[in-house]
Chains A and B, each alone.
Chain A
Amino acid sequence: MAQATDISRAYADQFARLRATLPGAKDPKLSALREGALARFAKAGVPTPRLEDWKYTRLGALLDGAFEPSSPVVNGIGEDAIDALSPALAGGPRLVFVNGLLRADLCCLDGLPAGMRVESLGAAPADLAEALADRDADALWSLNGALARDGAIVTVAKDAGEGDPLHIVHLARPGAGGEASHTRHMIRIEPGAAATVVESFFGPDGAAYWSNAACLIRVGRDARLRHFRRQQEGAAGLHRTAVRVELDAGAAYESFGLFLGGAIGRDEISVRFAGEGASCTLDGIYLGRGTQHLDCTTRVFHAVPRCTSHETYRGVLDDKAHGVFQGLIRVEKQAQKTDAHMLSKTLLLSDRAAVDAKPELEILADDVQCSHGATTGDLDPASLFFLRSRGLPEARARAMLVEAFITQMVEGIGPDAVRADFTAAASAWSAGGLGGGMTGGRA
């Protein structure tokens, strides 16, 4: 493990090299914002398991040295290749980021829903200060803020109806390895509007790379966002997504994550209720095999009365895979009539697979409905026996029950195209295909 100070210095050097090219570089206020973020990162360093919040996840190669900024890729990726990654979503509106940079030639904005506006980070100077916000950030969010070269700013106008899902594709094409991309997105749904956004993360097997994505979301009064994430990084990929959501009164936010790629993955989602009567559902499923490490961390802050949060996470872990589910629900004293439930279920298919589940309820209000539950185990022996007694060989019976466990989550996805996309990805996993996504290195 390298010295934390060496790593911080290396990232500071990167920042010094890049700063003139970063969006907002000419604006002294934004420069100060970026410098502040860099300083906060330098102070905290890459998180280690010594931090309570990172107790179960060790960030491997990120602790060994700094990852270089990934280089722009010009050649060798066509629209067809992007279509092939998500056939069910092909043809719909999409933004494509390759190595963290928007690729206009691969984007498709034809079917963009009425009222939805999308811009790249560099083309939206007025929104940069908001997008690069660094309040209550952790070290990786701060590093992302210092180094973010691109991202999407999505704004859905007041009362706009829900159209087709916007697909934001992140594709890694690392060179020799040890490269990182830090994308920063911001999604704002204005009052009364509705939208669906799908984020996908793909990368080749082979070289190690780091995808450090951050997404800031604000859902306005009585507005609704359905947000899907499909994490299918390459086998040696390191993945970290942080989603921070703020909900105004009456707003609804629904998140569904499918996490099946990468060597180490950590998906973090934090929801803060800023107005009464809002709701969120956070659902996710993590599928690991080999030596994969998949961490899902959620935090829900009930700061105002009468909000609802429901979380259901499921994991399937085979071989020596390691899963983590951390779920914090905090209900402030004034947040009466809160309804908050959290459930985590993990299937361990091998003796060497393991999961750490840490539900945490901090409840300061007295008139609330809150619960959490976590179960871990093997397939139900009675179901397995039943299927075998009907002639299904053990391996097939097991596979059928594993798929059923996954299907029960995925079949609840609302938008047809997204359900089809996630179902296909989950089935490919069940059938034995590894996370991967794309094979082959940089063209």
Chain B
Amino acid sequence: MLEIKNLHVTVGGKEILHGINLSLDEGQVHAVMGPNGSGKSTLAYVLAGRDGYEVTRGEIVFDGKDLNAMTPEERAHAGVFLAFQYPVEIPGVSGLNFLKSALNEVRKGRGESELDAVEFLKLMRERVSELKMDEALLKRPVNVGFSGGEKKRNEILQMSLLEPRLAVLDETDSGLDIDALRIVAEGVNSLRSPKRAMLVITHYQRLLSYIVPDKVHILAGGKIIAEGGKELALELEEKGYAMFGVTDEAA
């Protein structure tokens, strides 16, 4: 489903990713772990198509298409979803209006009919209660005045509404207390499906006891330096990034 081949990415004139290879099949959940500054968010952004993240070599093939040639919205329509490490606040745009617009644009993009206000509200309420979110939050402008945990839950809510084919979760666990982490993980797990793949980016092993990955990739200095099964995450937790000869200032 997703094939990243020898991917080199430059940001602001500086090469950050130096030849990433990663392939992800339908139904799988892979974890990408790495110390701060190793290029995890860069990988996430380049998958979602952020301006300024330039692919200088290699390719990203998604469902047989060249992802790099697509705009961010085309990627969203094709089923790519990024849960942001730092969700954006958008004053002046109501959460509900935003969610409805996004959902209907994605549905249009997928050739599905748009939902009317009633259908949308019904679906939204269902998902909001699954994530144990306060519905009143969505009447506010997007993410404005939300706590860190509320913002992360809002990202997962968007994912559950948009039902992506490929979900990239960038440090969705950071800043969450254990209860919030469990709720978010349940939300993510409930979206696991044979038709969907997930790339779970995290700094710590903690999240991976809730979302058990099929495979773990260790990213350091813009390169994948190790790969393995879920045990690799546990080993990393025990020994730290030093086991790869890498320092991690945040550990």
Q: Are B73 and A388 in contact (CB under 8 A)?
A: yes
Question: Assuming the A-B contacts A382-B88, A386-B90, A408-B92, are A391 and B106 also in contact, with contact meaning beta carbons closer than 8 angstroms in the complex?
Answer: yes
Of the listed residues A382, A392, A394, A407, the one surrounded by the most CB atoms of chain B closer than 10 A to its CB is A392
Stretch at the interface among B18-26, B46-54, B220-228, B242-250: B46-54
Cα A407 to Cα B48 in complex, Å, equals 29
- CB-nearest residue of chain B relative to A380? B88
Q: Are B102 and A383 in contact (CB under 8 A)?
A: no
- A401 lies within 8 A of chain B by Cβ: yes
CB distance from B70 to the nearest CB of A (A): 11
Q: Are A389 and B162 in contact (CB under 8 A)?
A: no
Query: Please, could you name 7 A-B residue pairs with CB atoms under 8 Å apart, sorted by A?
Result: A385-B50, A388-B73, A400-B98, A401-B92, A404-B92, A405-B92, A407-B93
- A401 / chain B contacts, CB cutoff of 8 Å: 90, 92-93
Stretch at the interface among B76-84, B128-136, B203-211: B76-84
Q: Are B75 and A389 in contact (CB under 8 A)?
A: yes
Q: Which of A388, A391, A404, A411 contacts B90 (CB 8 A)?
A: A404
Interface residue ranges of A390-422 to B (CB < 8 Å): 390-394, 396-397, 400-401, 403-408, 411
- B105 lies within 8 A of chain A by Cβ: yes
CB distance from B211 to the nearest CB of A (A): 21
Q: Which of B91, B101, B106 contacts A396 (CB 8 A)?
A: B101
Q: Are B73 and A394 in contact (CB under 8 A)?
A: yes
CB distance from A393 to the nearest CB of B (A): 5
Q: Are B51 and A385 in contact (CB under 8 A)?
A: yes
Of the listed residues A389, A397, A400, A403, the one surrounded by the most CB atoms of chain B closer than 10 A to its CB is A389
Q: Are A392 and B88 in contact (CB under 8 A)?
A: no
- A432 lies within 8 A of chain B by Cβ: no
Cα A388 to Cα B91 in complex, Å, equals 16
- A78 / chain B contacts, CB cutoff of 8 Å: none
- A381 lies within 8 A of chain B by Cβ: yes
- B193 lies within 8 A of chain A by Cβ: no
- B202 / chain A contacts, CB cutoff of 8 Å: none
Q: Are B76 and A391 in contact (CB under 8 A)?
A: yes
Of the listed residues A382, A383, A391, A404, the one surrounded by the most CB atoms of chain B closer than 10 A to its CB is A391
CB distance from A187 to the nearest CB of B (A): 32
Cα A386 to Cα B141 in complex, Å, equals 14
Q: Are B92 and A390 in contact (CB under 8 A)?
A: no
- A382 / chain B contacts, CB cutoff of 8 Å: 88
Q: Besides the contacts A381-B51, A390-B158, A394-B73, what 19 more A-B pairs have beta carbons closer than 8 Å?
A: A387-B90, A388-B76, A389-B49, A389-B72, A389-B75, A389-B76, A390-B106, A390-B162, A391-B77, A391-B106, A392-B102, A392-B105, A396-B101, A400-B101, A401-B90, A401-B93, A404-B91, A408-B91, A411-B92
- CB-nearest residue of chain A relative to B158? A390
Q: Are B93 and A391 in contact (CB under 8 A)?
A: no
- B147 lies within 8 A of chain A by Cβ: no
Question: Sorted from nearest, which 5 A-B pairs have the closest CB atoms?
Answer: A404-B92, A391-B76, A388-B72, A390-B102, A391-B106
Q: How large is the interface on B (under 10, 10 to 19, 20 to 34, 35 or more residues)?
A: 20 to 34
- B27 lies within 8 A of chain A by Cβ: no
- B58 / chain A contacts, CB cutoff of 8 Å: none
- B158 / chain A contacts, CB cutoff of 8 Å: 390
Kindly count the residue-residue contacts between A and B in the assembled complex, taking CB atoms under 8 Å apart. Answer: 76
Q: Which of A386, A387, A389, A407 contacts B92 (CB 8 A)?
A: A407
- CB-nearest residue of chain B relative to A395? B73
- B56 lies within 8 A of chain A by Cβ: no
- CB-nearest residue of chain B relative to A407? B92
- A387 / chain B contacts, CB cutoff of 8 Å: 90, 98, 102
- CB-nearest residue of chain A relative to B45? A385
Cα A401 to Cα B142 in complex, Å, equals 12
Q: Are A383 and B77 in contact (CB under 8 A)?
A: no
Question: Assuming the A-B contacts A390-B158, A392-B73, A394-B71, are A403 and B92 also in contact, with contact meaning beta carbons closer than 8 angstroms in the complex?
Answer: yes
Q: Are B88 and A386 in contact (CB under 8 A)?
A: yes
CB distance from B175 to the nearest CB of A (A): 18
Q: Are A400 and B73 in contact (CB under 8 A)?
A: no
- B149 lies within 8 A of chain A by Cβ: no
Question: Assuming the A-B contacts A383-B88, A394-B71, A407-B92, are A389 and B82 also in contact, with contact meaning beta carbons closer than 8 angstroms in the complex?
Answer: yes
- B93 / chain A contacts, CB cutoff of 8 Å: 400-401, 403-404, 407
Q: Are A383 and B50 in contact (CB under 8 A)?
A: no
- B109 lies within 8 A of chain A by Cβ: yes
- B98 / chain A contacts, CB cutoff of 8 Å: 387, 390, 400
- CB-nearest residue of chain A relative to B92? A404
- A403 / chain B contacts, CB cutoff of 8 Å: 92-93
Interface residue ranges of B89-125 to A (CB < 8 Å): 90-93, 98, 101-103, 105-106, 109
CB-defined interface of A351-394 with B at 8 Å, one 1/0 digit per residue?
A: 00000000000000000000000000000011101111111111
Cα A396 to Cα B76 in complex, Å, equals 14
CB distance from B216 to the nearest CB of A (A): 25
- B82 / chain A contacts, CB cutoff of 8 Å: 389
Q: Are B90 and A383 in contact (CB under 8 A)?
A: yes
CB distance from B111 to the nearest CB of A (A): 13
Cα A17 to Cα B141 in complex, Å, equals 58
- B76 / chain A contacts, CB cutoff of 8 Å: 388-391
CB-defined interface of B31-62 with A at 8 Å, one 1/0 digit per residue?
A: 00000000000000000111100000000000
Cα A386 to Cα B95 in complex, Å, equals 13
Q: Which of B48, B91, B103 contacts A389 (CB 8 A)?
A: B48
Q: Are B109 and A391 in contact (CB under 8 A)?
A: yes
Question: Assuming the A-B contacts A385-B72, A396-B101, are A391 and B162 also in contact, with contact meaning beta carbons closer than 8 angstroms in the complex?
Answer: yes
Interface residue ranges of B149-204 to A (CB < 8 Å): 158, 162
Q: Which of A386, A388, A396, A407 contacts B71 (CB 8 A)?
A: A388
- B90 / chain A contacts, CB cutoff of 8 Å: 383, 386-387, 401, 404
- CB-nearest residue of chain B relative to A405? B92
- B109 / chain A contacts, CB cutoff of 8 Å: 391
- A397 / chain B contacts, CB cutoff of 8 Å: 73
